[in-house]
Structure 1
C-alpha cells in the first residue's frame, strides 16, 4: 500500500481555504495528508472588511479560524521563504515560540503536490509622506483602526472651535477606486452620516469625502456601466470623486497634494490603490509575469513546476472566456479556481485526466452602505436596496463554514434592529498604554 501523498498549500486566503475544503470532501481516507501554511491562524474574508469598519459586522466574524474550519488539515503558522522544486521541499520561517522579538524557527516541509496561493499585498508607491500619514485597508486590524480613527475625528471636530482644525478632522481622503477603496469609503460615509446625529455641533454637510482614482473610472474590475452608476451614486451623496488624479504628496502638517493641483488639510488618508502579487513568489524560482504572478496553464498548473499548482491573485491564468487575456483578480475567479484546482490535484493523484478552468463572469455587485448598492448582471442593472440585498446574499453564501455564516447573519439582524455599532475602542491598538502610564507616574 502506498503511503499518503503529501499536499502542501501555501496561503490561507480564499484559494487556500476553499481548496482545502474541497480536498477534504474529495480525498479518500488515507489517500493524502494536507498541510496549510499561512502567517496568521485565520482567513480574512475581504469583502466584509468595509462592513466591519462601519460597525455592521463584528470584526471577529469576518475572520475564519483555520483550525476550526479545516479539521484534519495540519495548520502551520509561518511564511514561505524559498522552494527547492527539484527535491520537492518548501523552506518556512515560523515565529519564535517565546515572543515576537525572538529568533524565528526554520522549518523544511517536504511535499508531493504543492499549491501556491499566498495572495496579494498592497501596492505601495513612493509618495512623499505616505508612510507617515497613510492608513491601509487589507486586514481586520486595519479595518478596526480605521473605524476608531474616523469616530475619533468626529470627536475632535465636535470639541474644537478652530475652523481649520475642524475642517481637517472632517476631511476623509481615500486613494484608490477599486472594490476596497470604493466600498470602504461608501460604508464609512454612511456610518459617519448616521453618527453625526449624536453630535449637536456637527451636520452631515460638514463632512468632506474625497475618492482619488488614477484611472478613467472607478471599479476597473467591473463593467463600465456599473462603474458609471456607482460614480453617480457617490456624487449624489456629495462624495468628491476625482478621476485621472493621483496623490502627489502628504506634508508633515497633513496637507494633501493631488496631481490636479489641489491642496487641502486632511487628518484621514486611506491607501487602497491596488494590490500586487505576493513578493515571495519571486523567491520560488518559478516563472512569473510582469506583474509578479505565477505563469499558469488553463489546468492551473504552474509552468515549469512539476506538480505545482496556483490560483487567485498570485496566478496568471489564461481566461478562456476572453482569449488573449488572463483571469481578473477577484473573488468570483478565486473561489471557482480553488475548486477546479483541488479537483485537478485529486485527479493527478489518481492518474485521471484534469480539466481546464473556464468561467465567464456573471457581473459585479458593490455595497455602498446600509440599503445602498449597485449591481450589473448580464446587462441588467440594479441599484439601491435590491442590489444591497443581492450583495449580502452572495457573500453570505461564499464565506466559509456555517458557523461564520450564522454569526454574520446575526450581526446583520441586530444591526437592522439596533443600528450600527458606533463605539470607538482605540485602546485596542495600544492595550498596554494605560498600564505604562501608571508605571511612569508611580
Structure 2
C-alpha cells in the first residue's frame, strides 16, 4: 500500500508571530494532516517588551524567556539554528544549525517570521562602541555594564574618568529607548545610595532622538507627559538630535556637543531580518511585500508576517498603510497565518488580516507610566496597572506569569541588591558582537547549496 507523505510546514522564527502560528497549527491540525517544524537558534520565545526591566534588574532573565520545550505539544520538530537562505523555486530553506552544519530543509508550506535586527546607520564608531537592547544577552550585559560603571567610578581617583563613567547616553526616543533610559536611570538613582563616595549629582542620563517628539504614537498630550516625567527625574532629553560619531570614551552629538561617556545604548529602531534580502522579492522599506492574507505574491503557500513583512493595515482603510512592527500585531498575525495555512491545505480560500490597534502601554519604572488602551489616555498608577496587566496577560505560560508577578512583588518590597555577575566583563560586547547580520548566503550560494543536496 502506498503511503502518502504528509505536507511539511516550516516556520522560520520563534518570536511572537512564529510561536503563535505554531501553537495554533498544533491545536487545529490533526497529526496526520501535516508535519510541523520550527527553525530557531534558541529554544525559547523572548518577551521583548520587558527587556528594559531585565536590564534594570526588576525582572530576572529567565522570567521573560518562555521555554518552547515546556509549552509546546511535542508535535513540532525544533530545528536548532537559523535560516540563512531560501530557494523559493526549489521550495528549500537553507539552515545553519548551532553546530555550524548547513542543511537543506524542504517544505510544502513556508511561514516566514524571522523578525528584525537593530537598525543602524553608517555612523563612525557606532558598531564598535554602542550596545543594543534587542536580545536577552544584551539586556543582561547592559545591567552588568551599568553597575560596573558605578563600581569603577567609585574606585577611580581621576575626577574626569569618574564623571565620564557616570554619564550615560541612550539613542532612540521610541518605546524601547524611552523605557530603557527611564528604567536604567531609576537603577542608578537607587544604586548610588549604596556608594557614599560618589556624588549622585554626577550621574547624568541623556536620551536623544532625531524625531521632533518623544513617542509620537502616544499623541501630543501623553507625549508631553512622558517628556515631563523624564525631565523631572533628571534625564536630559534632546530631540532633533542624533550622534555624529562614537568613540571608546566619548560621543559626539550632531549639534556639536561632546559627551564624555563609556556607555552608549542604541535603540533607534529595527530593520527586517537580512534573510528577507536573500529572497530577491519585492520589499517595502526593507520589509517583504505581501498581500492582505500575508501570502508572498507569485509563491503560493509562502506566507510572511511580523517585523519582516509589510502586512497591509486593512483596518486603517488607507492605501499603502502597513501594520507597525509591534507584538500586538505579530501575535494576531501568527494566529491568522496559521488559519490561512490550514485553509490552503484543505482547499479553502484564505482571508485578509484585519486588526484595529488596541492601544499602547509604556512602563517608565517605579510608579511612572503612560498608556493609551482603546484610546483612553492614562498616566501614573492607572497607566502602570494597564501596562503591567497587558504584559502579564500576554505571557504565554502560567510558569512565566508566576515568575514575572513574583519578581515584580519582590522588587517592590525588597528593592535591588545591585549585584553584577561579571558577564563578559573582560570581553567587548557591542552591536557587532550580538547580531550576526553577515551570516546569510548570497543568491548564488543558495543555488549552489540547494543544487548540491
Name the residue aligned to 2:302. Answer: 308
CA distance in 2, matches of 1:67, 1:343: 23
Name the residue aligned to 1:398. Answer: 394
Tell me whether 1:281 sits opposite 2:276 in the alignment: yes
Higher mean alpha-carbon deviation, 119-128 vs 58-67, is at 58-67
Q: Choose from 91, 95, 108 the match for 1:88.
A: 91
CA distance in 1, matches of 2:184, 2:71: 30
Q: CA shift at 1:2, angstroms?
A: 4.8
Name the residue aligned to 1:101. Answer: none
Name the residue aligned to 2:43. Answer: 41
Name the residue aligned to 2:151. Answer: 155
Name the residue aligned to 1:237. Answer: 233
Tell me whether 1:347 sits opposite 2:347 in the alignment: no
Q: 1:386 to 1:21 in 2, by over 3 A?
A: same
Runs (5+) with no aligned partner, structure 1: 97-103, 432-442
SS of 1:78 mapped into structure 2: strand
Q: CA shift at 1:185, angstroms?
A: 0.9
Q: CA shift at 1:150, angstroms?
A: 0.8
Query: Normalising by structure 2, what TM-score?
Result: 0.89
Name the residue aligned to 1:60. Answer: 62
Q: 1:222 to 1:27 in 2, by over 3 A?
A: farther
Asked whether the 8 Å contact 2:17–2:331 carries over to 1, the reply is yes
Q: How do 1:188-203 residues align onto structure 2 when only pairs under 5 Å count?
A: 188-203=184-199
CA distance in 2, matches of 1:154, 1:371: 24
Q: Choose from 9, 12, 26 the match for 1:10.
A: 12
Q: Choose from 31, 49, 52 the match for 1:50.
A: 52
CA distance in 2, matches of 1:421, 1:124: 34
Higher mean alpha-carbon deviation, 157-166 vs 254-263, is at 157-166
Query: Normalising by structure 1, what TM-score?
Result: 0.91
Asked whether the 8 Å contact 2:373–2:386 carries over to 1, the reply is no
Alpha-carbon deviations, 1:172-197, whole Å to 9, x = none?
A: 10011122111111111111111111
Tell me whether 1:73 sits opposite 2:76 in the alignment: yes
SS of 1:87 mapped into structure 2: coil
CA distance in 1, matches of 2:83, 2:373: 39
Asked whether the 8 Å contact 2:144–2:423 carries over to 1, the reply is no
Q: Choose from 16, 24, 27 the match for 2:26.
A: 24
SS of 2:412 mapped into structure 1: helix
Q: CA shift at 1:363, angstroms?
A: 1.6
CA distance in 2, matches of 1:421, 1:326: 44
Q: CA shift at 1:421, angstroms?
A: 4.5
CA distance in 2, matches of 1:155, 1:359: 48
Q: 1:160 to 1:91 in 2, by over 3 A?
A: closer
Tell me whether 1:271 sits opposite 2:273 in the alignment: no
Q: CA shift at 1:428, angstroms?
A: 5.5
CA distance in 2, matches of 1:379, 1:34: 39
Name the residue aligned to 1:146. Answer: 142
Alpha-carbon deviations, 1:22-41, whole Å to 9, x = none?
A: 11111123211110001222
CA distance in 1, matches of 2:116, 2:233: 32
Runs (5+) with no aligned partner, structure 2: 428-453
Q: CA shift at 1:235, angstroms?
A: 1.1
Tell me whether 1:172 sits opposite 2:168 in the alignment: yes
CA distance in 2, matches of 1:256, 1:17: 39
**RMSD of Structure 2 on Structure 1 (CA):** 1.8
Asked whether the 8 Å contact 1:223–1:376 carries over to 2, the reply is no
Asked whether the 8 Å contact 2:229–2:368 carries over to 1, the reply is no
CA distance in 2, matches of 1:379, 1:90: 42
Q: How many residues align?
A: 422
Q: CA shift at 1:246, angstroms?
A: 0.9
Name the residue aligned to 1:436. Answer: none
CA distance in 1, matches of 2:264, 2:292: 40
Name the residue aligned to 2:315. Answer: 321
Alpha-carbon deviations, 1:333-371, whole Å to 9, x = none?
A: 111111111111112211223221111112211000122
